[in-house]
Structure 1
Amino acid sequence: MREHENEWTGLMRLAISGDDGAYHRLLRSVTPVLRAAARRGLSRAGQPVDQSEDIVQDILLAVHLKRHTWDTNAPFAPWLFAIARNKLIDSLRRRGRRIFVDIDDFAETLAGEPEPETAPAGEVAAQLQTLPARQRDVLQSIAVESASIKDTARKFAMSEGAVRVALHRGLASLTARLKEQ
C-alpha cells in the first residue's frame, strides 16, 4: 500500500492541475484496491459481497465530485479511504441489519409444515354449548362461520363493541375450561 500512496498522491496532484491521463491512471490504479476493501467490508458485516461494485462506483463518484476538497499538501490515500469507509457505512445503513443465508443449503434439514392441531367438530360444539347464549352465538358466528364482527353485530342487533366483548369473554371462558381439563 505504501508504494501506491506516493504514486496516487502524485497522480492526483497532476489530475488536479488538469492532466486527464493522470486522472484515468489514478482511477484505474485505485479501483481494484477499493473493490477488495468493499468486498472485505461487506463480508465482515455479513452481507453478500456481490454488492461491492455498487459501493466502488459510489466511492469513485464521490472522489470525482469532491476532488477539489483534497488538500494537495496531504497524502491522497487517507482521504480516499475516508471516503471509501463512509460510502461503505452508508451502504450498510441503507440495507439495514440483515443476514443473508442461502436456504438451499438447509432445504433437506428443514421440517415440513406441521399439521395444525384441530379439535374434532363434536368437541367444539360441546364446548360451545357450555357458554352463555350470547357468547355462544357470537363465537359460532365469528369463529365457526367466519363472519366479520360487523356482520355479527348486524345479525344479532348488537353494537360492534358488544360483539367484541362477547367474543373476548367467550374465548376467555373456553380457554379457562380447556386448561382445567
Structure 2
Amino acid sequence: MTDRETHLKSLMLRGLDGDALAWRVLLTETGAHLRPFFTRRLFDGGADAEDLVQETLIAIHAKRATWDRHQAFTSWAFAIARYKLIDHLRRQGRRPTAPLEDAAELIADHTVEDGATHHDLGRCLSLLPARQRALIEDVRLRGLSVAEAAARHGYSVSAAKVSLHRSLKSLIAHYAPTPLDVGSSADED
C-alpha cells in the first residue's frame, strides 16, 4: 500500500470507530486529493470542481457503512468520485474526451486487484534481505534509476546492478516451475 492509502485508510477506520477528529481530517485530506482530480477532467477549467468535491464528500459520508474495511479506501473513494463526475457530465450533456497520452489519468490510483497484487508481491519480495528488497522496490516498482537507488541505499552503481541481477535471479529460481512441473503440464494436454 502507498503511504497515502495507508494514512487515509487509518483515518477512515478511526472515523468509523467514532473518532470525529480523524473523520474531519479524512474528509479534508480526501477533498484536497479530489480537487485536482475533478479540475483536470472538467471542460470549464474546473469551475464546478468544488461542487463535485462537496458532492463526493457527502456521498462518502453517507455511504461510509458500505466500505469494506479490508479493501483500499482510495479506490472506493475515487470510484464514488468517478460516478459523481459522470453524473455531472451527463447533466451537462457533454462527453469527455482525453488524448490517448492522458489515458492513464482516467484510471483510479488503486483498484481492487491492487490490494491482492501488492500482497502477493510483498510475499515474493519477503524472501530477500531487506536491503535487496528495498533496492528492487525502488528501481522496479517506484521507477528510480539504478544510480538514484544505489545512492539511496549506500551501493555503488555497479554493486547495485549486481545486487538487482542476483536478487531477480534468486526470485526467478524460487518461483519458476521446476522441470517436473513443466513436463507434467505438457502431459496433461
Aligned to 1:86: 83
Aligned to 1:53: 50
* Count of residue pairs the alignment pairs up: 96
Report SS of the residue matched to 1:15.
helix
Q: Trace 1:45-124 onto structure 2 (pairs within 5 A).
A: 46-97=43-94
Aligned to 1:37: 37
CA gap of 1:9–1:97, structure 2 versus 1, over 3 A, is same
Report SS of the residue matched to 2:71.
coil
After superposition, give the CA deviation of every residue in 1:109-154 in whole Å (9 maximum; x if it has no partner).
xxxxxxxxxxxxxxxxxxxxxxxxxxxxxxxxxxxxxxxxxxxxxx
Q: Distance in 2 between matches of 1:87 and 1:25?
A: 22
Query: 4+ residue stretches of structure 1 with deviation over 3 A?
Result: none
Q: Distance in 1 between matches of 2:95 and 2:22?
A: 40
Quote the offset at 1:3 in angstroms. Answer: 1.7
Structure with larger Rg:
1
After superposition, give the CA deviation of every residue in 1:34-72 in whole Å (9 maximum; x if it has no partner).
011010111xxx334111111101100100100000001
CA contact (8 A) 1:11 1:22 kept: yes
What is the TM-score when the length of structure 1 is the normalising length? 0.50
Percent identity over the alignment?
44
Aligned to 1:26: 26
Quote the offset at 1:2 in angstroms. Answer: 2.4
CA contact (8 A) 1:47 1:98 kept: no
User: Structure 1 regions of 5+ residues with no counterpart?
Assistant: 100-181
Quote the offset at 1:98 in angstroms. Answer: 8.1
Q: Distance in 2 between matches of 1:97 and 1:37?
A: 18
Q: Distance in 2 between matches of 1:2 and 1:98?
A: 32
RMSD of aligned residue pairs (Cα, Å): 1.8
